[in-house]
Amino acid sequence: MAAEFTLRGFDVALYDEKSYWPEHIDGILKNGGIVTLTGHDLTGDAKIYQITDSLPEAVEGAEIIFISLVIWRHQAICKALQQVLRPSQTVIFSAGNFASIRLRGILGLDSPVVVGEMMGNIFPCRMLSDHTAIIAAKLTGKMVAAFPAQDTPKLLESVGQVFPCTKGQNVFETALNAPNVVVHLAGSLLNIASVEKNPKFGLYKEGLTPSVMKCILAVEAEKRTVMDKMGYVMIIHSDHMEKVMQYDKFPELDDFRRLAGPSSRLHRYINEDAYSGDAMLLSLGERLGIQLPTLRSLINIASVINDRKYAVEGITMDMLGIPGDTPETINQYLYTAKLDWQSV
């Protein structure tokens, strides 16, 4: 993301905690602060404007703060941002995973900082080496929304300067439309034996079969019942997976097929998605009185193999304090971040 925006002409400050620098930051610094970007969007050598382990330093001159972290790092970064954000700034999460609700809760409703998230990750990508990255699909219009959703026009005005985006009804519509919600658990769990035998296993290169696709389609069908009930746009991702599964066709998808993961039972394809998008989808379905048997089964299996209780301890309606048991009350809260009596 830092390389992409640099090549688009923006000055980017790349931040991470120093303990995570050995993963990639050290390699980028050894290369003179240059990331070599390859793949299906912008390509070239991107000289990152600033690389730092100081959050105040990184945020100081930024108009927009993009956060792209695994979900178990969201709470800490939200608390840290509380101390350094300025009123005119915008914060957007990629992938969102409802983190905007957490940050707004920490900042308070009176804060003028615009907080939002996008549908899934900004693009499928991987680091290929210490300083070389690949984007496996062209950046197209991403659905984004703010929390509260009444701030979405401000979010669009801000992030629209950086990349193409479209308006989501609210952060539930964006987060639940992420492809990970439908694809990752089914694809990973039905291939778990291969994953544990081969940490270099690639789901999109060798893990998609007709039976796996049947499970993905079943989850997608269950999700549709919830999305329709909530009045949300439903974005279909199974058609893309069906193309990916045809390994002798669509060579333009080969870079996507080569994306690594999952590498273990604790990989984010299982541990993060069962905890976040899938747990929330199940929780929302329960609040609306909708049964999601395939999704519940997958979450239960993930809970067994990882000794967790994702449906209880994950990101749920109760965990985020979302009130209401009808689409109208839930959507109203996501629009204003206030209960009815607070809105009067």
The set of long-range contacts for 303-307, using a CB threshold of 8 Å and a minimum separation of 24, is 303/274, 305/189, 305/192, 305/265, 305/270, 306/265, 306/266, 306/270, 306/271, 306/274
> Minimal CA–CA distance to 99: which of 277, 235, 223, 269?
277
Q: d(Cα 189, Cα 302) in Å, to the nearest integer?
A: 7
Q: d(Cα 94, Cα 139) in Å, to the nearest integer?
A: 13
**Class in CATH terms, 179-334:** mainly alpha
Sign of the torsion angle spanned by Cα atoms 232, 227, 280, 119: negative
Q: d(Cα 45, Cα 36) in Å, to the nearest integer?
A: 4
* Per-residue pLDDT tens digits for 238-276: 999 999 999 999 999 999 999 999 999 999 999 999 999
- Assess whether pLDDT exceeds 70 at residue 305: yes
**Quick one: pLDDT at residue 61?**
87
Bridge-based pairing of strands 50-52 and 90-93 is unpaired
Residue with structure tokens 């992420």? 178
Contacts of 230 (CB under 8 A, 6+ apart): 172, 173, 284, 288, 327, 330, 331
Question: For the chain, which residues make up each domain, given as ranges?
Answer: 2-176, 179-334
- Which CATH architecture is the domain 2-176 placed in? 3-Layer(aba) Sandwich (3.40)
Distances (CA, A) of 57 to 52, 112, 252: 7, 21, 40
What proportion of the chain, given as a percentage, has pLDDT over 70?
98
Q: d(Cα 263, Cα 239) in Å, to the nearest integer?
A: 25
Query: Average pLDDT, stretch 83-112?
Result: 96
Return mean pLDDT, the chain: 96
- Six token digits for residue 159: 């992030």
* Per-residue pLDDT tens digits for 3-25: 999 999 999 999 999 999 999 99
- Assess whether pLDDT exceeds 90 at residue 343: no
Using 50, 70 and 90 to split pLDDT, how confident is the model at 64? very high
